Chain A
Amino acid sequence: MLPNIMKNYRKQKKLIVILIFASILLSCQSEKKVSEKQDYLRWVGDIEQNDKIDQLDFKACHGDDEILQYFNLGEGPIYSGEKSAILNIFKSRYIPLADKEQNGLIRIRFFVNCKGKAGRFRIFQSDYNYQEIKFDNRIVTQLADITKSIENWKVLYRREVPVDYYMYLIFKITNGQLTEILP
Chain B
Amino acid sequence: MKILNLILVLFSFSSVLALPNCEAFKYYGDTLKYEACKKAMEINGHYQFSKEYQTILDESLKIDPTFDYAYWAKSIAYLKSGDFVTWKKLIDKAVEYNPKEYLGYRGWCRYQFFRDYKGTIADIEKLDSLVDYDIGQSQNGTYHLNIAKGLCYKAIGQKEKAITIIENQIKLNEYENFVGKYDYLHLGVLYLETGEFENAIKMFKKQSHTNELAENQYYSALAFLSLDKLTEYKSCLKKAKELYVGGKKMHDTYSNPMDKIYLDNIENEIKTAYNN
Are both chains from one complex?
yes
Measuring CB to CB, which residues of chain A are less than 8 angstroms from any residue of chain B? 34, 38, 40-45, 69, 71, 74, 76-77, 82-85, 105, 107, 109, 124, 126, 128, 130-132, 166, 168, 170, 172, 180, 182-183
**Closest CB in chain A relative to B163 CB, distance in Å:** 22
| With known contacts A40-B55, A128-B116, A180-B115, A76–B81 Cβ distance under 8 A | no
**B77–A43 contact, CB under 8 A?**
yes
Contacts of A180 in B (CB 8 A): 115
Of all chain A residues, the one with the shortest Cβ separation from B255 is: A183
**A83–B262 contact, CB under 8 A?**
yes
* The one of A43, A107, A182, A183 that contacts B49, using a Cβ cutoff of 8 Å: A43
**A77–B254 contact, CB under 8 A?**
yes
Give the tally of cross-chain contacts (CB within 8 A). Answer: 93
**B80–A130 contact, CB under 8 A?**
no
| With known contacts A40-B55, A45-B81, A182-B255, A82–B49 Cβ distance under 8 A | no
17 A-B pairs, CB-CB below 8 angstroms?
A: A38-B51, A43-B51, A44-B54, A44-B77, A45-B49, A71-B80, A71-B253, A71-B254, A82-B264, A83-B262, A107-B82, A109-B81, A109-B82, A124-B84, A168-B82, A170-B84, A183-B255
Ranked 6 nearest A-B pairs via Cβ: A45-B81, A40-B51, A130-B88, A43-B49, A44-B77, A183-B255
Most B Cβ at <10 Å: residue of A34, A40, A74, A130: A130
Q: Which residues in chain B, 15-56, are within 8 Å of chain A measured between CB atoms? A: 47-51, 54-55
* The one of B81, B89, B251, B262 that contacts A44, using a Cβ cutoff of 8 Å: B81
**A83–B256 contact, CB under 8 A?**
yes
Cα separation A113 to B108 with both chains bound (whole Å): 31
Contacts of A71 in B (CB 8 A): 80, 253-254
**Closest CB in chain B relative to A92 CB, distance in Å:** 14
1/0 per residue, CB under 8 A from A, across B237-268: the answer is 00000000000000111111000001111000
Contacts of B49 in A (CB 8 A): 43-45, 69
**A130–B254 contact, CB under 8 A?**
no
Q: Which residues in chain B, 49-105, are within 8 Å of chain A measured between CB atoms? A: 49-51, 54-55, 58, 62, 77-78, 80-85, 87-89
Give the interface residue-count category, chain B. 20 to 34
**B254–A76 contact, CB under 8 A?**
yes
Does B178 touch A at the CB level, under 8 Å? Answer: no
Does B11 touch A at the CB level, under 8 Å? Answer: no
Contacts of A40 in B (CB 8 A): 51, 54-55
**Closest CB in chain A relative to B123 CB, distance in Å:** 13
**A45–B256 contact, CB under 8 A?**
no
Contacts of A182 in B (CB 8 A): 113-115, 255-256
Cα separation A130 to B123 with both chains bound (whole Å): 15
**Closest CB in chain B relative to A52 CB, distance in Å:** 22
**Closest CB in chain B relative to A148 CB, distance in Å:** 17
| With known contacts A69-B80, A76-B254, A183–B113 Cβ distance under 8 A | yes
Cα separation A42 to B51 with both chains bound (whole Å): 6
Q: A38-B54, A182-B114 are in contact. List 5 more A-B contacts (CB 8 A).
A: A38-B51, A85-B264, A130-B89, A180-B115, A182-B255
Contacts of B47 in A (CB 8 A): 43
Cα separation A128 to B252 with both chains bound (whole Å): 24
Cα separation A43 to B55 with both chains bound (whole Å): 11
| With known contacts A84-B264, A170-B114, A45–B82 Cβ distance under 8 A | yes
Contacts of B81 in A (CB 8 A): 44-45, 69, 109, 166, 168
Contacts of A132 in B (CB 8 A): 85
**A124–B82 contact, CB under 8 A?**
yes
Contacts of A168 in B (CB 8 A): 81-82
**B84–A107 contact, CB under 8 A?**
yes
**B113–A76 contact, CB under 8 A?**
no
Contacts of A109 in B (CB 8 A): 81-82
* The one of B116, B251, B255, B263 that contacts A82, using a Cβ cutoff of 8 Å: B263
Contacts of A105 in B (CB 8 A): 84, 114
Cα separation A38 to B114 with both chains bound (whole Å): 27
Of all chain A residues, the one with the shortest Cβ separation from B77 is: A44
**Closest CB in chain A relative to B165 CB, distance in Å:** 22
**A130–B85 contact, CB under 8 A?**
yes
